[in-house]
Amino acid sequence: MMRTSFAILAAIIPLTFTFGASVENLLPRNTTQKQDLTPAQCCDGLKRILDPSKVLLPGSPEYAAQEASYYSGEQVLQFPVCRVAPTSPEDVSSIIKFATTSNCNFAVRSGGHMNWVGSSNIGPEGFTIDLEDMKQIELLDDSKTVAISPGLTWADVYTFLRPHNLHTAGGRSSHVGVGGFLLGGGISFLSLEHGFGSDNIINYQIVLADGSIVNANEAERSDLYWALKGGSTNYGIVTRFDMATFPLDQMWGGSLYYNISLGPTLLDYLVGFTERLAVDANGLFALSIAWNAANNDYLIWSPNAYLAPTPFPSPLYDGLEEIPTVRDTMRITNLVSVTDEINMSSPGGSRTQWFALVFKADATLPWDIYQKGADIMAPFLGKEGTSWALTLQPINVGMIAAAANRGGNPFGLTEKDGDLFLLLISIFWTDPEDDGKIKATTQDFLRWSTDTAKQRNLLNRFIYLNYALDTQPVLASFGDENVRRMKAVQKKYDPKGLLKVWKGGYKLDEV
């Protein structure tokens, strides 16, 4: 993809330092205040403190390749003045110290799978730190732990673990990146028994606002360890996640497809399935009602996974075989194959809007939300490249209890909330002329869905970060007490507010 139609700032003030110079040596002597540099000067400075080949400029193939790799078609069209590709925690430390000292705005990308503009990229007002070259992975502690760098995707992780017959609480779509997934909590095939992905992190290696490289775990910086489980972009750049491993060889997984007329039947089934997770939490049954342009109608897709080579295990999947399908790819297979199949359902590249909603497990509300969506999206669906989907999955009591048993997290969920459903609305289009109308429609749809759930006394305040829209109050949904704790942790580890130059993600200072 060519990126040639943008202007590069011409007035670059030369800096008289050499490659490998320390950050402190880049500033005038006797300076106590931060030095405000232009974005172009920031990039020029980065070339002096790093190997210059790690600073990618517009027009280079490496810059273009990184830009083209975002999931969101709108993030692809944000053009930072440069992109920086660190390969080590020390590189990240140098970048952070330079950026915070020089007031250089930046964004950070791990896998680039967030859906909204500016979540992990930036325009000409700054530079982007792209972690894709940080791809180290190794087994530790007699294979009980896997150390994962943030530039990996979950396909990379599972491919590495497969010969060892191991699994970890990572993403269910193969091309999702490690870093953003875990800093938003993350829901995995293991979550219904073991909690969010972040509940299964044993240690974070993180670069703090002052550039120091530290560990956060239950024994060391335990307050930071807790906050990072839903920390977004508030505490520092995590350069390694040490995660618990679990045995896994073959599994049963794939997809079931259904006629839209079976929607109410399948939603009733999902309620019962969620209740049965109390007996067997090794399976996932989810539903996605999606516009199928090829057939000019809606289709129901159900991704399924069971963490053993057992088709339709009882009692968890009792009754599912009796519901007629239009297509069935279920098979005895491996984790890589299942996550690749899920990834194919939403390959990215479109302009996107997502929003998330959590409510008590109920069959009627999601069907009503689908019908409302079908009504308000109807004017757009005749246009090529435009579609939308409603996806529903359980957050069961066992998942909430597992999180508490692992030291808790900031999300504010308790077992008293009971079994819940997590709803994701995802809207896709390609024509920039539709941006305003579709984004306004998304806001109306979110407002109607939230109000309806609230009116029926079904709404839970928790908003899942990884599915949320940028306008949703994600961190506030964690509850006042947890927000206070998170802010206290932020004040402790970034007392001067140096990381305000980090743009993107969900910010505590906006709560």
On whether both 318 and 407 belong to a single domain, the answer is yes
Distance CA 47, CA 473 (A): 37
Q: Is residue 176 part of a domain?
A: yes
Q: Is 258 within a domain?
A: yes
205/241 same-domain check? yes
> What is the C-alpha separation between 428 and 441, in angstroms, rounded?
12
Examine the domain organization and report whether 109 and 182 are in the same domain. no
CA distance 492 to 485: 11
Banded model confidence at residue 24, pLDDT cuts 50, 70, 90: low
Which domain, by its residues, includes 256? Answer: 251-473
In-domain check, residue 424: yes
Identify whether residues 370 and 410 lie together within a single domain. Answer: yes
Q: Is 473 left (phi over 0), alpha (psi -120 to 50) or beta?
A: beta
Is 163 buried (19+), middle (13-18) or exposed (0-12) by CB count in 10 A? exposed
114 and 70 both lie in a single domain: yes
CATH of the domain at 44: 3.30.43.10
Question: Does pLDDT of 33 surpass 80?
Answer: no
Can you give the pLDDT at residue 4?
33
Residues 49 and 98 reside in one and the same domain: yes
Angle between helices 435-455 and 364-377 (to 10 degrees): 160
Write down the pLDDT at residue 202.
98
Residues with Cβ within 8 Å of residue 319, at least 6 apart in sequence: 269, 272
Total number of domains constituting the chain: 3
Residue 5's pLDDT is what?
Answer: 32
Peptide bond into 432 cis (omega under 30): no
pLDDT grade for 31, boundaries at 50, 70 and 90: very low
Q: Which among 204, 227, 247 is the end of a domain?
A: 247
Q: Both 296 and 339 in a single domain?
A: yes
Tokens of 408: 């808790």
Q: Is it the case that residue 13 has pLDDT exceeding 90?
A: no
Is 303 found in the same domain as 221?
A: no
Would the CA dihedral through 304, 310, 311, 313 be positive or negative? negative
Q: Quote the CA–CA distance of 407 and 224 in Å, as a whole number.
A: 12
When the pLDDT of each residue in the chain is averaged and rounded to a whole number, the result is: 93
Whole-number Cα distances in Å, 43 to 91, 106, 350: 14, 11, 29
Q: What mean pLDDT comes out for the span 449-455?
A: 98
- Tell me, yes or no, if the pTM score tops 0.85: yes
CA angle 41, 46, 50 (to 5 degrees): 160
Residues 455 and 315 placed together within one structural domain of the fold:
yes
Measured in degrees and rounded to the nearest 5, phi and psi for residue 64 equal -60, -40
Residue among 482, 488, 467, 363 at smallest CA distance from 413? 482
Can you tell me the mean pLDDT for 72-95? 97
413 pLDDT above the threshold of 60 = yes
- The residue from 228, 247, 266 where one domain ends is 247
Residue 5 falls inside a structural domain? no
CB 266 within 8 A of CB 233: no
Above 70 in pLDDT, residue 464?
Answer: yes
Residue 150: asked if its preceding bond is cis (omega within 30°), the reply is: no
Beta strands in 443-500 (DSSP E): 459-460
Last residue of a domain, one of 103, 133, 163: 133
Q: Is residue 16 part of a domain?
A: no
Q: What percent of the chain stands above pLDDT 70?
A: 93
Query: What pLDDT was estimated at residue 25?
Result: 53
Do 390 and 421 fall into the same domain? yes
Q: What is the pLDDT of residue 303?
A: 97
Choose between 5 and 136: higher pLDDT. 136
Q: Is the pLDDT of residue 17 over 60?
A: no
Residue 371 is assigned to a structural domain of this protein = yes
| pLDDT tens-digit series, residues 329-387 | 999 999 999 999 999 988 789 999 999 999 999 999 999 999 999 999 999 999 999 99
pLDDT interval class at 390 (50, 70, 90): very high
The confidence band for 34, taking pLDDT boundaries of 50, 70 and 90, is low
Identify whether the C-beta of residue 282 lies closer than 8 Å to the C-beta of residue 308: yes
pLDDT of residue 21: 52
Distance (Å, rounded) from C-alpha 51 to C-alpha 388? 44
Q: Would the pLDDT of 9 be above 50? A: no
Question: Can you give the CATH number for the domain in which 187 is found?
Answer: 3.30.465.10
Query: Per DSSP, what are the bridge partners of residue 79?
Result: none
Please give the sequence-ordered ranges of beta strands (E in DSSP) within 32-168, or none if there are none.
Answer: 55-56, 82-84, 106-109, 127-130, 137-140, 145-148, 166-167
pLDDT of 199 above 90? yes
Q: Which residues contact 261 (CB under 8 A, 6 or more apart)?
A: none
Which pLDDT score, from 0 to 100, does residue 329 have? 98
**Residue-wise pLDDT tens digits, 137-181:** 999 999 999 999 999 999 999 999 999 999 999 999 999 999 999
- pLDDT above 50: residue 89: yes
pLDDT for residue 15 is more than 50: no
pLDDT above 90: residue 49: yes
Q: Round to whole Å and give the CA distance between 382 and 379.
A: 7
- Residue 400: inside a domain, yes or no? yes
Give the C-alpha separation, 233 to 128, whole Å. 14
Residues 72, 188 within the same domain: no
Helices (H) and strands (E) in the chain, counts: 13, 21
The DSSP string of 238-266 is EEEEEEE-EE---EEEEEEEEEGGGHHHH
Q: For residue 344, what is the domain's CATH number?
A: 3.40.462.20
3-state secondary structure of 147: strand
Helix axes 263-276, 364-377, angle to 10 degrees: 140
Give, as one character, the DSSP assignment of residue 47: H
Same domain, 293 and 403: yes
On whether residue 485 sits in a domain, the answer given is: no
The DSSP H or E segment spanning 92 is helix 89-102
- Whole-angstrom Cα distance, residue 460 to residue 479? 11
